[in-house]
Amino acid sequence: MRLAIGDLQGQIAPLERLLDAAAFDAASDQLWLTGDLVNRGQDNAAVLRRVRDLGDSAVTVLGNHDFYLLAVASGAMRRGADDTLDDILNAPDREALLDWLRFRPLMHVADGFAMVHAGLLPGWSISQARLLAHEVEGALQGPHWKIFLQNLWGSQPLAWDEKLEGWDRLRVIVNAMCRMRMCSIDGEMALKHKGPIDAAPAGVLPWFAVPKRRSKTHTVVCGHWSALGYYADDGILALDTGCVWGGCLTGVWLESGARVEVKCDQTAAPSGWD
């Protein structure tokens, strides 16, 4: 059985409570995590160790805050004053944990489910998106990964074009899979909007509501959008229920659809790369 869980953001206690509540068994079950393992909470190193030590019993994709940690730790990005990464940046096993994180996938696909942190552009099929994710993984896992991170930040281009090359191409892929919440019918990302659907600017829709979205062949499991909350409909399972903001940590058994939730304490400060 596979248990999918929303954004942890450096909080180990809710994770342990949810695993207990769900009766998760690492010997027979697999944990799917939607990314953003770190930042805003205070237990970043503990979360990374816990997930890493589950081995093949855990699958996590990369989120925007995970990229932020890697960029800060590698010197590719200046650290924000309000992040909560001290424990991991000062950890004795810092480099081992960062190397483990750097080799996590951007997207995971299995048995009719596709997991990504934020979303998929409506023109991307699952097979195309997985190939694009592999391009980013190759850059992040290769010998020039620090140069890649130095060129990652920014919001342009806002739309996909198969002719894109170099850093622009990789940046669009990462922004879609790790930052996007809404886009136009033509697939132009509206990266500034973080609020609820009914407060969105004119002309944009949730990425999963765009007509003729090509990824509907699978159920896309994602997090990232705490203002959306739990959302399960029409090929989408969104699981960021704002744990770090004092909401809940939500898990769903993918095979049965059964939901498990635990209450969280608010620990967050605004930080990182959204």
pLDDT tens-digit series, residues 235-257? 999 999 999 999 999 999 999 99
**2-263 CATH:** 3.60.21.10
Element (H, E) at 130: helix 126-141
pLDDT digits (tens, 9 = 90+) for 142-183: 999 999 999 999 999 999 999 999 999 999 999 999 999 999
* Closest C-alpha among 51, 137, 63 to residue 97: 51
CB 15 within 8 A of CB 274: no
Q: Over pLDDT 90: what percentage of the chain?
A: 91
75: left (phi over 0), alpha (psi -120 to 50) or beta: left
At residue 108 the predicted structure's pLDDT band, cuts being 50, 70 and 90, is: very high
Distance of CA 103 to the CA centre of its chain: 14
- Its pTM stands at 0.95
- Torsions phi, psi of 166, nearest 5? 60, -145
pLDDT per residue as tens digits for the range 58-98: 999 999 999 999 999 999 999 988 899 999 999 999 999 99
| Averaged confidence pLDDT in the chain | 95
Domain boundaries, given as residue ranges, for the chain: 2-263
Confidence of residue 268 (pLDDT cuts 50, 70, 90): low
- Specify the long-range contacts of residues 109-114, CB closer than 8 Å, at least 24 apart: 109/218, 112/218, 112/219, 113/2, 113/32, 113/218, 113/219, 113/220, 113/221, 113/254, 114/215, 114/218, 114/219, 114/220, 114/221
- Residues in CB range of 119: below 8 A, 6 or more apart: 176, 177, 180, 181, 207, 208, 220, 222, 224
Helices (H), 60-102: 64-74, 86-89, 94-102
